[in-house]
Amino acid sequence: MIPMEELLAERACERLVLDFVRRLDLGEPSTVAELFTEDGVWQWPEGDRLVEGRAALRAYFASRPADRLSRRVMTNILVTVASPTQASATSYFTTYRVDGHTGGMVPAGPPVQIGLPHSRLRSSGGTPIEDTFRKVGDTWLLASRTLFLPFGGPTPVVEPRQSPPAA
């Protein structure tokens, strides 16, 4: 590959990672499946969560609770282009998330998930956060996303707001 093609592939894959979390966080979770190949895979080995195929991914992401508020921070995205149609990436991510959100500001709390890159996890016996990409026609898509969480926990539920007393 010429350097410009490699640079464009890296940027397209990085954009997929960022678009993935944007769609989850900003109210378009059912559209996340469009970012995957038809045979795409989403998996979390902890808890044996595995979703295979675009139709199953669409159903999985569409089942997200309507009252969930989340914000994910993705950084240090390192894309490695293997060929004109294959690439992979590792990245850091942090997820802030609550269920039961009915609007307004939520008191700050700790993140519920943190993923770290391979070199950091190796010392604790972990494995990398991995994305693989495949170019289909002129479009780069996620072929698989595998999450390994050294830090994770349940989603907190926001307490219902109390209405102010009537005057």
What digits encode the pLDDT tens for the residues 36-56? 999 999 988 777 789 999 999
Given the structure tokens 């990398």, which residue do they identify?
Answer: 128
Token digits of residue 64: 């997200």
Under the banding of pLDDT at 50, 70 and 90, the label for residue 114 is confident
Q: Is the pLDDT confidence value at 118 over 60?
A: no
What pLDDT, on a 0 to 100 scale, did the predictor assign at position 121?
45
Q: Is the pLDDT at 141 greater than 80, yes or no? A: yes
pLDDT of residue 120 exceeding 60: no
Helices of type H across the chain: 3-25, 54-62, 118-122
So what's the pLDDT on residue 80? 95
The number of angstroms, rounded, from the C-alpha of 49 to the middle of its chain's C-alpha atoms is: 14
